[in-house]
A and B are shown apart, each in its own frame.
Chain A
Amino acid sequence: MNSVEGLVTQIQGLSSTASDVLMLQNFEACTAGPITKEQASSYLLIIARFLSSCVSEQIRLASHKFIFVCKRFKNQLVLLGEPLPGVALMLTAIRKFRSSTEHLTALHPEFLLLCLLAKSYKTGHSILEEDIFEVDQPNDLFLYCYYGGMICIGQKHFQKALELLHNVVTAPMFAVNAIAVEAYKKYILVSLILHGQFSTSLPKYSSSAAQRNLRSLCQDNNLGLVKQVVSSLYKQNIKRLTQTYLTLSLQDIANTVQLSSVREAEMHVLQMIQDGEIYAAINQKDGMVRFLEDPEQYKTIEMIERIDSSIQRLMIPSKKITLMDELMSCDPLYLSKGSRERQKFDFDDYDSVPQRFNV
């Protein structure tokens, strides 16, 4: 019996009050083989109907099956070359499955991948704006941050891309894997675009495997990003000029930044003003540019609102971290390791020579 047709018959045979768990078992059993283009719309219709009618509590009871069915759904769409239908459906699945907006599920990276393939960057970005505090599997976070970084790069939100890629590169890992290498390449390029520089050493809290191996593994395959780095070099050079000069002629700018003409220099400066990257006034009559101070006085109502809302937003994770800290300090594993370390340094109470106690 052909798998999708069989599925359709079985679903139609079930009563409308059949539990979602039962439905999931049917899905799992009947969607083993690849789906053809002709079967695609009936397959999508069944999944869509299921996702819109399923009950959160029920699918959470059969969480492994639900994730399995959704992942297979994504794989089928990718094989068909039609990722777009999956975007809205996977988003529905996430919204029903997760226990809160702070919960990262195994479906999040699948959703982001579909968004990347379907070029629905804006939709993908909307889920990145939600803060994550609870993760099911560390691997989910890994992929989520990697795909999320790529979506932010597409939207030119380089700061957020850097943060997400940073998470991938500094995540705990025993051996360097392909995702980490790719993430590192993009991390360097985004860092160059954003800051005009990057640090060749990873932060102390990255895994030792990453620190040893990532640097040597990078060869190029990110042409789009590399082009953006090249164009950002001009910007970085112009920005540096604003820190040294009050006024400068367009000719001098062209010479210093190595642009081919005065006109090109003018256009670069104009574009940076348009993007809010510098504050300046071009005087075409004299061929000069006057660099200005940031006109923000920080005393407007809008600024007060921004500071207030930023502080409020920061208080939430701060409270959570305090809570996590309290919970961890009661954790027996942590305490036993901590006390072992502490014994080494108790020399204040006893001798000047530190004693090592075996616990």
Chain B
Amino acid sequence: MDFSVLNEALASKSFNKIADICDNLMLQVAAEGVPFRDEWPFAIHLLGHIYIDDINSARFLWKSIPPAIKESQPEVVAAWKIGQKLWTRDYAGVYEAIRGFDWTQQTQVLVAAFSELYTKRMFELLQSAYSTISIQDAAQFLGMSEEDASNYVLGQGWTVNPTSRMITVTKQAIVKEQKLDPGKLQRLTEYVFHLEH
């Protein structure tokens, strides 16, 4: 089995491509009729799906893994545990699953990258969903101690009230550059004209 494309992606940190690479490679290898499952990097494959937030595909992949491999490869089970926590929306549990295993070198890189991405995603979720939140909860969502969480959100421009242990969320206005293409407007005008006549 030729894993060069996968290894390249891991080396160049193109983590969002790993799921597709693994999927395509698996279909190809299976079509050759060779038994491949014993040597297949299931942990990396699962984490590839988890990295791009495709928990559905991770779930289906987990279901298709033979029980013998689940019993003999604890890293695969550990990788799925992260996916499971994401599936059940156990926001704090995801961090426990990440930290609760001694990952091999190759997998560690991917797990660390996902952990960083997940923290960022959680922060954005808090920003969009909360106007005020307790330091305790924020710490759980961000996978940090209460002190670290306070400092982190302060650094992002939020305010912390140490007496009430409450954080006030400040939403940043995202200004996206709007470059107008006159051709598009022209087309839309034509549509409206056509529809009205």
Chain B residues bordering chain A, tally (CB within 8 A): 38
Do the beta carbons of B188 and A88 come within 8 Å of each other? Answer: no
Find A119's partner among B64, B133, B181 (CB 8 Å cutoff): B64
Across-interface contacts of B185 in A (CB, < 8 A): 304
Do the beta carbons of A285 and B166 come within 8 Å of each other? Answer: yes
State whether the Cβ of B1 lies closer than 8 Å to any Cβ in chain A.
no
List the 4 closest pairs (A to B, CB-CB), nearest first. A44-B33, A41-B33, A88-B27, A119-B60
Number of A-B contacts (CB under 8 A): 98
CB distance from B74 to the nearest CB of A (A): 22
Across-interface contacts of A290 in B (CB, < 8 A): 131
CB distance from A289 to the nearest CB of B (A): 9
What 1/0 flags go to A58-71 for Cβ under 8 Å of B?
00000000000000
State whether the Cβ of B56 lies closer than 8 Å to any Cβ in chain A.
yes
20 contacts between A and B (CB under 8 A): A40-B33, A43-B33, A44-B31, A85-B33, A120-B27, A121-B56, A122-B23, A123-B23, A154-B60, A155-B56, A156-B56, A269-B129, A274-B125, A274-B129, A280-B129, A281-B129, A284-B134, A285-B164, A300-B178, A308-B187
Bound-state CA distance A160–B69 (Å) is 35
With A154-B56, A281-B130 known, 9 other A-B pairs at CB within 8 A are A41-B33, A41-B34, A48-B33, A86-B31, A87-B31, A156-B56, A283-B130, A301-B181, A304-B188
Do the beta carbons of B131 and A283 come within 8 Å of each other? Answer: yes
Do the beta carbons of A267 and B89 come within 8 Å of each other? Answer: yes
Across-interface contacts of A42 in B (CB, < 8 A): 33
State whether the Cβ of B184 lies closer than 8 Å to any Cβ in chain A.
yes
Across-interface contacts of A119 in B (CB, < 8 A): 60-61, 63-64
State whether the Cβ of B108 lies closer than 8 Å to any Cβ in chain A.
no
Tell me the A115-154 residues at the B interface (CB within 8 Å): 118-123, 154
* Partner-A contacts on B (CB < 8 A): 23, 26-28, 30-34, 54, 56-57, 60-61, 63-64, 89, 125, 128-134, 137, 164, 166, 176, 178-181, 184-185, 187-188, 191
Across-interface contacts of B166 in A (CB, < 8 A): 284-285
State whether the Cβ of A113 lies closer than 8 Å to any Cβ in chain B.
no
Across-interface contacts of B191 in A (CB, < 8 A): 311
Do the beta carbons of A122 and B133 come within 8 Å of each other? Answer: no
Residue of B nearest to A274 (CB): B125
Bound-state CA distance A307–B133 (Å) is 38
Bound-state CA distance A200–B131 (Å) is 42
Residue of A nearest to B176 (CB): A300
Residue of A nearest to B169 (CB): A281
Bound-state CA distance A230–B57 (Å) is 23
CB distance from B18 to the nearest CB of A (A): 14
Across-interface contacts of A87 in B (CB, < 8 A): 27, 30-31
Across-interface contacts of B131 in A (CB, < 8 A): 281-283, 290
